[in-house]
Chain A
Amino acid sequence: MNSVDVVIVGSGASGAAAAWSLSRDANLRIVCLEQGGQGDPKQYPTTLANWELSRHGLASSKPSERNNHADYPIDDTNSPISIANFNGFGGSTILYSGHFPRFHPSDFRTKQLDGVGDDWPLSYQDLEPYFTLNEKMMGIAGLVGDPAYPEYENLLPPVPMGPAGQKIANAFNTLGWHWWPSYSAINTRSHGGRGSCINLGPCNTGCTQGAKGSVDVTYWPIAKRQGVEIRTECSVYDISLNQHDKVNGVHYVDAKGLQQFQEASVVILACSGIGTPRLLLNSKSVAFPNGLLNEYGNVGRHLMLHPLAYTEAVFEDDLKSSIGPQGCCILSQQFYETDMDRDFSRGYTMQILRGAPPMETAVSGYMMRRIPLGPEHHKEFAKYFNRTVGIAVIAEDLPHAENCVVLDDENCDINGMPGVKIHYTLDDNTKKMLAHGVERSKHVLETAGGRVISSFAPVKNAGWHLMGTARMGHDPKTSVVNSFGQGHNVENLFVVDSSIFTTSGAVNPVATAQALTLKICDHLRNNLSDLERST
């Protein structure tokens, strides 16, 4: 098969940003290999009235529930949090909520400021121009002027908070706490050739409207026009090295089940915080018997998942809370930065979530013995539907080497490549942070006039932020890639997804992951000819 300049593995949040960024150089030949298939928005669950049922099929964020041929086995029985993802063209952005805040400046300096975690080999300022560029490309709604951040330049109008958001915002004001409209990858007016959000709600099943900034509708259409070739249903199982221990391409199984080799001068991994270490660990050679870039045993380690606490309250008034993008309303970063008066380091974001749709309201109400069967059913149902509001606490997860992804040779995907096992526990700092978050969530919901009806942590099926498993750093002994996402000892292998996060921050990762990807790709484009010469 013809050699290309760059092969990108994975078409999700970071793979798409890389494809777009690099293909601005029209001379580059770029191929992206994606193990999943191409979805069709016309088939998304929300095109049918029974979308609450069909979301549990192919559009589920649980790989075990989806049972798609593109999924690989993930054994997370050894973790209180289960892994959630989507393997298909566009990656997990197809299902994500589009909550899009940036990391804060302090997130890059946790060791220096608080003596915990590690410092990143770059700073907020280094990423700032890329944050802005990425927000333009992805179409980010919000409001400039947030005192919790250095200045944003430009955003689309904020997603409406609706009566539910207003209720909670007033409570934050009563308490004197920070809140701000959510940064949301949701078009609130036409942008990037896409229409605007019509407040349907279930963004986590894929947005039929095309208003949510998933990368299949943001970066990919342009990257394809710029000449990137995307090959779906192509599963990469090995990254190949030449006699100088530089990468020279990837082995993959194509849509017909045939083994192929794609020769390339540079390989970029964007397979997610689980898929990337899996592929590196599976790429064993004489030079790297324990997996590529794994000389010091760091690949797969330092897994961070953002443990979540969830608190929900019900209100007397009809708040129309099931209307509007479910995960994007308002947020609070009152407890984001370290406060020496608290018994934990670092902090968390409170993400206000809109209410549950009808079926979920009825079933959970029945299970919790709140909504009876029989003549009183509808009256009681009406007391909950459109009247509930949730708060998700997104806790900063500190990096620990023991929290890791390892190969599971006993459970393989359909091509015979090993799946993974997750070993993960919550540390004391996180437990204290979650407990604090639950108490503060209850306080704000009660201040708003709500009655708390449920609250728990950690949320089991919420392992959707996958970070740290090929971390960046200056020291090859303690990290996997350098500040340009470049393998310490394999200079033409790059990792661009959130595996390279040194610490996790306490916000949803995509804004920061894609900004990093764009920065890395700028560096790569500027140095590609040198790299090609040296391989």
Chain B
Amino acid sequence: MIDILCDTILPGDEDLGLPSGAIIDIDRYIHRADIGAQVKEYGQLLDELSLEKFNEGFVALDVGLRLEIVELSRRRNNRLSNIIIIHCMKAYYTDANVLKWLPAGAVPPFPAGNPLKEDDWSLLEPVYERGQAYRPVSP
């Protein structure tokens, strides 16, 4: 259920070459963050809302309807929904397999670092030419 949720809110994007949220090891994340009970509660809420609105469980819905249910869940229980959605985002954006597809530079453990081009310090000329900018103080 939670991987379906991740895929719903963070689907893959072929144009940008980004993977779906379903590829991350969300179970490991949930275990580490110790949020199993809240995930279960949110899953129940999603199912309840899906049954109410579409007569089917959340997992059985197509992706567009699932997204609708997620939005509905935010209106029904904003606090719980946000907690779980944000955890999914945190899990996704700290996953090494995702990071390497983002233009996030070197991914830990940082083998090479990130080059930045030499700057053109002649940009400072006007600042320099305006002259002293600090207040003179008698000792």
A378 cross-chain contacts in B, Cβ below 8 A: 10, 13, 16, 18
Q: Identify the interface centre among B89, B96, B113: most chain A CB within 10 Å of its CB.
A: B89
B4 adjacent to chain A (CB < 8 Å): no
Establish whether residues B135 and A358, one from each chain, have CB atoms under 8 Å apart when the complex forms.
Answer: no
Establish whether residues B104 and A357, one from each chain, have CB atoms under 8 Å apart when the complex forms.
Answer: yes
| A interface residues with partner B (beta carbon < 8 Å) | 46-53, 104-106, 108-109, 112-113, 123-125, 143, 145, 147-150, 158, 160-162, 165-166, 169-170, 172-173, 176, 178-181, 198-201, 208-209, 318, 320, 322-324, 333-334, 336-338, 357-359, 361-363, 366-367, 373-375, 377-379, 382, 385-386
1/0 per position for B114-133, CB-CB distance to A under 8 A?
Answer: 11111111011011101111
B87 to chain A, nearest CB (A): 10
- Chain A, Cβ-Cβ closest to B94: A50
| B interface residues with partner A (beta carbon < 8 Å) | 8-11, 13, 15-16, 18, 67, 70-71, 82, 85-86, 89-90, 92-96, 99, 102-110, 112-121, 123-124, 126-128, 130-137, 139
13 pairs of residues in contact across A and B, judged by CB atoms under 8 Å: A49-B107, A106-B135, A113-B135, A160-B118, A160-B119, A162-B117, A173-B127, A198-B112, A320-B105, A361-B93, A362-B93, A363-B93, A377-B10
Establish whether residues B105 and A160, one from each chain, have CB atoms under 8 Å apart when the complex forms.
Answer: no
Q: Provide the bound-state CA to CA distance between A323 and B113, in Å.
A: 9
- Chain A, Cβ-Cβ closest to B92: A362
Establish whether residues B110 and A199, one from each chain, have CB atoms under 8 Å apart when the complex forms.
Answer: no
Kindly identify which residue among B89, B96, B103, B139 contacts A359, using a CB–CB cutoff of 8 Å: B89
Establish whether residues A382 and B8, one from each chain, have CB atoms under 8 Å apart when the complex forms.
Answer: no
B85 cross-chain contacts in A, Cβ below 8 A: 366, 373
Establish whether residues B123 and A169, one from each chain, have CB atoms under 8 Å apart when the complex forms.
Answer: yes
B115 cross-chain contacts in A, Cβ below 8 A: 199
- Chain B, Cβ-Cβ closest to A52: B94
If A323-B114, A358-B104 touch, does A180 touch B89 (CB 8 Å cutoff)?
A: no
Kindly identify which residue among B9, B15, B18, B124 contacts A180, using a CB–CB cutoff of 8 Å: B124
Establish whether residues B93 and A145, one from each chain, have CB atoms under 8 Å apart when the complex forms.
Answer: no
Establish whether residues B95 and A147, one from each chain, have CB atoms under 8 Å apart when the complex forms.
Answer: no
Establish whether residues A323 and B105, one from each chain, have CB atoms under 8 Å apart when the complex forms.
Answer: yes
Establish whether residues A366 and B135, one from each chain, have CB atoms under 8 Å apart when the complex forms.
Answer: no
Establish whether residues B108 and A46, one from each chain, have CB atoms under 8 Å apart when the complex forms.
Answer: yes
If A47-B109, A50-B94, A147-B127 touch, does A199 touch B116 (CB 8 Å cutoff)?
A: yes
If A50-B94, A123-B139, A377-B9 touch, does A199 touch B99 (CB 8 Å cutoff)?
A: no
Establish whether residues B108 and A47, one from each chain, have CB atoms under 8 Å apart when the complex forms.
Answer: yes
Q: Provide the bound-state CA to CA distance between A46 and B109, in Å.
A: 7
Q: Provide the bound-state CA to CA distance between A373 and B109, in Å.
A: 29
A55 to chain B, nearest CB (A): 10
Establish whether residues B105 and A147, one from each chain, have CB atoms under 8 Å apart when the complex forms.
Answer: no
- Chain B, Cβ-Cβ closest to A54: B94
In the complex, besides A46-B109, A367-B86, 18 extra interface pairs with C-beta distance below 8 angstroms are A49-B107, A52-B94, A105-B137, A106-B135, A112-B137, A113-B135, A113-B137, A147-B130, A147-B133, A161-B119, A169-B124, A178-B133, A180-B124, A198-B113, A199-B113, A337-B133, A357-B104, A379-B13
Closest 6 CB pairs of A and B: A198-B113, A50-B94, A49-B96, A160-B116, A359-B93, A378-B13
If A359-B90, A374-B8 touch, does A385 touch B102 (CB 8 Å cutoff)?
A: yes
Q: Provide the bound-state CA to CA distance between A169 and B122, in Å.
A: 11
A125 to chain B, nearest CB (A): 5
Establish whether residues B114 and A200, one from each chain, have CB atoms under 8 Å apart when the complex forms.
Answer: yes
Q: Provide the bound-state CA to CA distance between A515 and B53, in Å.
A: 68
Establish whether residues A173 and B123, one from each chain, have CB atoms under 8 Å apart when the complex forms.
Answer: yes
- Chain B, Cβ-Cβ closest to A173: B126
Q: Provide the bound-state CA to CA distance between A160 and B113, in Å.
A: 14
Kindly identify which residue among B9, B13, B116, B131 contacts A162, using a CB–CB cutoff of 8 Å: B116
Establish whether residues B94 and A49, one from each chain, have CB atoms under 8 Å apart when the complex forms.
Answer: yes
Kindly identify which residue among B90, B113, B127 contacts A363, using a CB–CB cutoff of 8 Å: B90
Q: Provide the bound-state CA to CA distance between A106 and B137, in Å.
A: 6
B120 cross-chain contacts in A, Cβ below 8 A: 166
Kindly identify which residue among A104, A172, A322, A337 contacts B104, using a CB–CB cutoff of 8 Å: A322
Q: Provide the bound-state CA to CA distance between A109 and B134, in Å.
A: 13
A200 cross-chain contacts in B, Cβ below 8 A: 105-106, 110, 113-114
Establish whether residues B108 and A51, one from each chain, have CB atoms under 8 Å apart when the complex forms.
Answer: yes
Establish whether residues B127 and A358, one from each chain, have CB atoms under 8 Å apart when the complex forms.
Answer: no
B114 cross-chain contacts in A, Cβ below 8 A: 198-201, 323-324
- Chain A, Cβ-Cβ closest to B117: A160
A113 cross-chain contacts in B, Cβ below 8 A: 135, 137
A375 cross-chain contacts in B, Cβ below 8 A: 11, 13
Kindly identify which residue among B89, B92, B116, B130 contacts A323, using a CB–CB cutoff of 8 Å: B116
Q: Provide the bound-state CA to CA distance between A106 and B132, in Å.
A: 13
Establish whether residues A106 and B134, one from each chain, have CB atoms under 8 Å apart when the complex forms.
Answer: yes
B104 cross-chain contacts in A, Cβ below 8 A: 322, 357-358, 385
A143 cross-chain contacts in B, Cβ below 8 A: 121, 124
Establish whether residues B127 and A178, one from each chain, have CB atoms under 8 Å apart when the complex forms.
Answer: yes
If A337-B135, A385-B103 touch, does A46 touch B127 (CB 8 Å cutoff)?
A: no
Establish whether residues A166 and B123, one from each chain, have CB atoms under 8 Å apart when the complex forms.
Answer: yes
Q: Identify the interface centre among A113, A143, A359: most chain B CB within 10 Å of its CB.
A: A359
B131 cross-chain contacts in A, Cβ below 8 A: 147
Establish whether residues B134 and A337, one from each chain, have CB atoms under 8 Å apart when the complex forms.
Answer: yes
B117 cross-chain contacts in A, Cβ below 8 A: 160, 162
Establish whether residues B133 and A358, one from each chain, have CB atoms under 8 Å apart when the complex forms.
Answer: no
If A373-B10, A373-B85, A378-B13 touch, does A170 touch B123 (CB 8 Å cutoff)?
A: yes
